[in-house]
């Protein structure tokens, strides 16, 4: 029976891939579809092999073991009990009842999401991993196509940043929260771009709004603070566009527009902070500082970002922000590597540092900056700075940060690859693609 179930699931996966391939994607991107997909699927399988058979540890084991309890609930107590757990959070009388849900809400939610392919595959980890990798790929592929549609000259930069950059490729594959996170991010941001520039029909607008909501909701389930940050990034871009790029408001002085922007965005941010107690303005510094102390204790003897004078205040966070941002982007350095995984991370960080040098080289040369889409760039930069700094404070362990930071790295790499020096370097590595 298991062989039949596995065969059916592989056929379903093949059908989903075929359906995805047949969609109306940008012609310049089509040659990269199967290479990117195969790499994504292989990374998901590799992550499981390393975790279960070589390292014998990892978060993916925790998610799998919790989801296995959900599958046991389905197989032993039937579909009704499983659906009550899935949709109503009711685990009474099931193996899941012993799991303390308040302990870590995102782990509970991740186990619920993972239990769906686990039920379909009769608890098979690796086929479930293929489902999650495919979802992550589909969301990011959707985003890259949306970027290419409206900014065709940046197609290769988007491909590298969101689909081929090593840490993003690896950590957003397989049975990890980041598979749902990055897949949801791709759906939300890709739909936002399409809604902004192509959503003219009512049915189209409704579809894009639904996809934005679905993407942010999936991110909320596994990492609520990323969902809030992304939502605020979209709000900021809309406010910037409305205030500074609308012809009807051109007669107003920029200072009035800036004041209006600050008031509206601050009000939106305050409302968003009420979505979770840890995000409240008065408790956020304490919550971040507490996470920092816990991570510091757990990473004793391992490379980490130390803030010896950090205090749970906004002023202290601001004063340490440069060190935090440099740490999350460029560490571990090569001389800090202590195993093969950290060595590979350090090579990637060196590449990132070279891209920054390339950007700085162009920055101090005579360039004519085009601000036609400046509101998007500004919103992304604010997201990068705030999210990068907060992640470095809340999780200073460099090994864990290499995974957590993938929510900011593709945006940064994409922007860095747009400068002349880095673009020329990129064209030497990949064949030049001419947009249709």
Write out pLDDT tens, residues 272-298. Answer: 999 988 899 999 999 899 988 888 887
If asked whether residues 341 and 434 sit together in one domain, one would say yes
The most confident of the ranges 29-38, 97-106, 340-349, 354-363 is 29-38
**Considering 198, 222, 246, which residue would you say is the last residue of a domain?**
222
Q: Are residues 291 and 168 in the same domain?
A: no
Predicted local distance difference test score (pLDDT) of residue 1: 53
pLDDT for 373: 81
230 found inside a domain: no
Choose one of 179, 202, 222: the last residue of a domain. Answer: 222
372, pLDDT greater than 80: no
150 located within any domain: yes
Quote the pLDDT of residue 103.
47
Residues 290, 216 within the same domain:
no
Per the structure, the count of domains in the chain is 2
Judge if 61 and 199 occupy the same domain: yes
Is 251 inside any structural domain?
Answer: no
Residues 311, 214, single domain; the answer is no
pLDDT bucket at 435, cuts 50 / 70 / 90? very low
Average pLDDT, the chain: 90
CB atoms within 10 A of CB 235: 16
Single out the residue in 202, 222, 242 at which a domain terminates.
222
Residue 436 lies in a domain: yes
Name the band, by pLDDT with cuts 50, 70 and 90, for residue 436: very low
41-69 burial, b for 16+ CB within 10 Å, e for fewer? bebbbebbebbbeeeeebbbbbbbebbbb
Whether 395 maps to a domain, the answer reads yes
Q: What is the pLDDT of residue 19?
A: 97
Claim to verify: residue 158 and residue 35 sit in the same structural domain = yes
85's CB contacts (< 8 A; 6+ apart) are 70, 73, 91, 94, 96, 112
Are 217 and 356 found together in one domain? Answer: no
pLDDT for residue 269 = 94
Give the separation between CA 3 and CA 41, rounded to whole angstroms.
21
Tell whether 58 and 199 lie within a shared domain.
yes
Q: Interior CA angle at 125 toward 117 and 395, to 5°?
A: 95
CA distance 426 to 156: 8
Predicted TM-score (pTM) of this structure: 0.93
In this structure, which long-range contacts are made by residues 101-109, counting pairs with CB atoms below 8 Å and at least 24 apart in sequence? 105/224, 106/177, 106/221, 106/222, 106/223, 106/224, 107/62, 107/63, 107/66, 108/66, 109/221, 109/222
Instruction: Indicate whether 217 and 288 sit together in one domain.
Output: no
C-beta of residue 234 within 8 angstroms of C-beta of residue 288? no
pLDDT at 199: 64
Q: Are residues 143 and 36 in the same domain?
A: yes
CA distance 292 to 214: 31
Residue with tokens 């994409």: 414
Does 257 fall in a domain?
Answer: no
Mean pLDDT value across residues 413-418 = 94
Q: Which residue has the tokens 């130390």?
A: 306
Range of the domain at 68: 1-22+30-222
What is the tens place of the pLDDT at every residue in 141-183? Answer: 999 999 999 999 999 999 999 999 999 999 999 999 999 999 9
- Over residues 109-132, the pLDDT tens digits come to 999 999 999 999 999 999 999 999
- Same domain (yes/no): 185, 75: yes
Both 313 and 202 in one domain: the answer is no
Q: Is residue 248 part of a domain?
A: no
Considering the domain boundaries, does residue 308 fall inside one?
Answer: yes
């Amino acid at each position: 029976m298991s062989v039949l179930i596995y065969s059916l699931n592989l056929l379903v996966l093949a059908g989903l891939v075929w359906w995805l391939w047949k969609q109306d994607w940008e012609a310049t991107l089509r040659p990269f579809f199967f290479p990117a997909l195969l790499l994504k699927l292989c990374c998901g399988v590799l992550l499981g092999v390393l975790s279960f058979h070589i390292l014998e540890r990892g978060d993916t084991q925790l998610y799998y073991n919790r989801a296995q309890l959900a599958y046991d609930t389905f197989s032993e107590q039937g579909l009704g009990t499983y659906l009550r757990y899935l949709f109503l959070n009711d685990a009474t009388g099931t193996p899941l009842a012993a799991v303390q849900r308040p302990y870590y809400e995102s782990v509970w939610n991740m186990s619920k999401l993972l239990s769906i392919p686990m039920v379909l595959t009769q608890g098979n980890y690796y086929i479930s991993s293929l489902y999650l990798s495919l979802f992550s790929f589909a969301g990011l592929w959707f985003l890259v196509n949306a970027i290419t549609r409206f900014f065709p000259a940046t197609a290769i930069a988007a491909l590298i940043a969101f689909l081929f950059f090593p840490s993003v490729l690896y950590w957003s594959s397989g049975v990890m929260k980041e598979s749902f996170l990055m897949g949801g991010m791709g759906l939300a941001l890709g739909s936002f771009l399409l809604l902004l520039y192509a959503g003219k029909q009512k049915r189209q607008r409704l579809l894009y709004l639904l996809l934005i909501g679905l993407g942010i909701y999936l991110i909320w389930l596994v990492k609520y603070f990323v969902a809030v940050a992304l939502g605020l990034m979209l709000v900021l871009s809309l406010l910037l566009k409305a205030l500074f790029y609308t012809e009807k408001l051109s007669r107003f002085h920029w200072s009035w527009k800036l004041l209006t922007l600050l008031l509206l965005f601050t009000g939106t941010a305050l409302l968003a902070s009420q979505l979770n107690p840890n995000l409240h303005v008065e408790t956020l510094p304490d919550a971040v500082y507490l996470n920092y102390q816990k991570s510091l204790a757990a990473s004793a003897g391992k490379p980490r970002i130390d803030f010896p004078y950090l205090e749970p205040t906004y002023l202290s966070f601001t004063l340490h922000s440069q060190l935090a941002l440099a740490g999350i982007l460029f560490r571990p350095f090569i001389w800090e590597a202590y195993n093969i995984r950290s060595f590979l991370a350090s090579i990637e960080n060196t590449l990132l540092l070279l891209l920054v040098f390339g950007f700085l080289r162009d920055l101090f040369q005579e360039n004519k900056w085009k601000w036609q889409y400046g509101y998007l760039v500004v919103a992304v930069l604010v997201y990068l700075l705030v999210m990068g700094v907060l992640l470095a404070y809340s999780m200073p362990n460099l090994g864990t940060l290499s995974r957590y930071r993938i929510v900011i790295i593709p945006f940064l790499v994409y922007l860095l690859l747009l400068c002349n020096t880095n673009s020329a370097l990129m064209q030497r590595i990949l064949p030049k693609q001419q947009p249709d």
